Amino acid sequence: MPSRVLAAGTAAVLLLGGLGYAVADAYDVVPGVLTVRPAPTPPPPFPDPPGAQDPATPPDDVLPALDESAPLPDRDALAAALAPLLADPALGPDVSASVVDVRTGEPLLASDAGTPREPASTVKLFTAAAAIDRLGGRRTLTTTVVPGASEEVVLVGSGDVLLGAGSGDPDAVRGRAGLADLAADTAAALAAQGRTSTAVRVDDSLFADDRMGPGWTRLDVDLGFVAPITSIAVDAGRTTDEPYAPRVADPALAAGAAFAEQLRAAGVTVVGDVTRGTAPPDAPVLAAVQSAPVTEIAGYLLRASDNTVAEAVARLVALDAGLPATFAGSARAVTETVAGLGVDVTGVTLTDGSGLSDGASVPAAALTDLLVTAAGDTHEHLRPVLTTLPVAGLSGTLLDRFSGDAAAGALGTARAKTGSLRGVTTLAGTVPSADGRLLAFAVLADDVPATEPARRAVDAVVAALAGCGCR
């Protein structure tokens, strides 16, 4: 999380720890609202949870059928219905909204929709779409072990930062590839050579060395918002299964240490400390494990809003585009890839692949344009960008949203990507109208007084869309 997000309330965050973002956000609403005391400076809201468990897959992993005969909402009626909700003081003075009919691409509401605003984690929509388009949805990431220069093996990172420390789980995204399996195969390969001992090196040279994004601090790592970006990691650098578990300072070396531990368990003597090294060119592969396909990884990063995974995926997009695997390179590659899909990126400025860094700005219209593009017949391979989004009240970062009466109308039907930073609340996704018309929407507010009331206000906007015949 950028430094501006952590400037206030750090002690409160530390005390809350594993209680999670839902409890912590209560600190935004109780003082000054449920009491008569003046509201103090709000503590930092939490970013979307990075997902200690694989978030539940949406119950219906397809888009609802689009009824071409269903009537479109009337623009004037829709504007009249949404105007008071968008003017809710909980959203602050700087609010943009875009509503577009998914079937036709026809804009139905444009309230400052072309004004760039801070997007927070809705940036991940661009990253997921770029990854599926450029890398290919079926592509997997291969983590390998090769022989090193002398009596050593080299663990080579491929961008998979969701390795499992133990055996791989074929049904999971997190931990699909397991270091225990990799170590067992490596031990067998060494035994075939008559070797029972080895040194271990880690080659994480696939990505550049700029591991911390613009505005990130070590506190972001300690609080579990993100890990330093390397081309190999176990469980995105988490130290435990808690959503906001502290991340390790060096995920690549930590992965190497976990691999060495598994080698020992497989009967191999590991000599010396695990250090960095570079794999020899064209070295034969001793062992290899495969990640989940890119489509599943993209779905995971959207549901869990995992910042570390988003940054690793964005760097793979940069490499495929022939650009440096840096924050700047990945931001450029993602933007150019999305533009190549026909999305209007006028006003889009990305600074990373997750939305966590300082300096990003995106118009609401660009987000709805991307959503409509993903739903269209021309780019059917992008459909998972929509179908893997969290479902209101049921999965991912929307699990605890849309719970109030004002938002109940969209419960179970809206699918959307959340975004939260201090002073920023965003949401972009799709929702069917009362008449069966599928609508793409984006609401961006980047000067909100407090996070939890702003979230409820945005949810109410989406619920109004769900209940709108607006004719």
Q: Which of 96, 121, 357, 395 is catalytic?
A: 121
DSSP-derived letter for residue 412 is T
260, with CB counted inside 10 A (0-12, 13-18, 19+), is buried
Tokens describing residue 141: 């990431």
Give me the helices (H) in 376-471, please: 384-387, 451-466
| pLDDT computed for residue 7 by the predictor | 33
The pLDDT tens digits for 67-120 are: 677 888 999 999 999 999 999 999 999 999 999 999 999 999 999 999 999 999
Is 417 marked active-site? no
| pLDDT computed for residue 64 by the predictor | 54
Are the C-beta atoms of 169 and 177 separated by less than 8 Å? no
| pLDDT computed for residue 124 by the predictor | 98
DSSP-derived letter for residue 117 is B
| pLDDT computed for residue 66 by the predictor | 62
Q: Which amino acid is at 63?
A: L
DSSP code string of 2-63: -GGGSSS-HHHHHHHGGG-HHHHTHHHHSTTTTSSSPP-PPPPPPPSP--SSPPPPPS--SP
Is 121 marked active-site? yes
For 12, list phi and psi in degrees, rounded to 5: -65, -40
Q: Which of 96, 124, 231, 395 is catalytic?
A: 124
**10 Å Cβ neighbour count for 4?**
14
pTM, two decimal places: 0.88
| pLDDT computed for residue 337 by the predictor | 98
Residue where the block lists tokens 């984006």: 442
Q: Point out the residues of the chain with pLDDT beneath 70.
A: 1-67
Q: Which of 158, 231, 291, 305 is catalytic?
A: 305
Under the phi-then-psi rule, with left for phi > 0, alpha for psi from -120 to 50, and beta for the rest, what region is 112? left
Are the C-beta atoms of 426 and 361 separated by less than 8 Å? no
CATH architecture of 75-136+297-466: 3-Layer(aba) Sandwich (3.40)
The strand pairing partners of 226, in sequence order, are none
Is 124 marked active-site? yes
| pLDDT computed for residue 63 by the predictor | 53
The strand pairing partners of 420, in sequence order, are 425
| pLDDT computed for residue 36 by the predictor | 29
**10 Å Cβ neighbour count for 290?**
15
- Start-end ranges of CATH 3.40.710.10 in the chain? 75-136+297-466
Tell me which H or E stretch contains 180.
helix 179-192
Give the separation between CA 423 and CA 470, rounded to whole angstroms. Answer: 31
Q: Which amino acid is at 117?
A: R
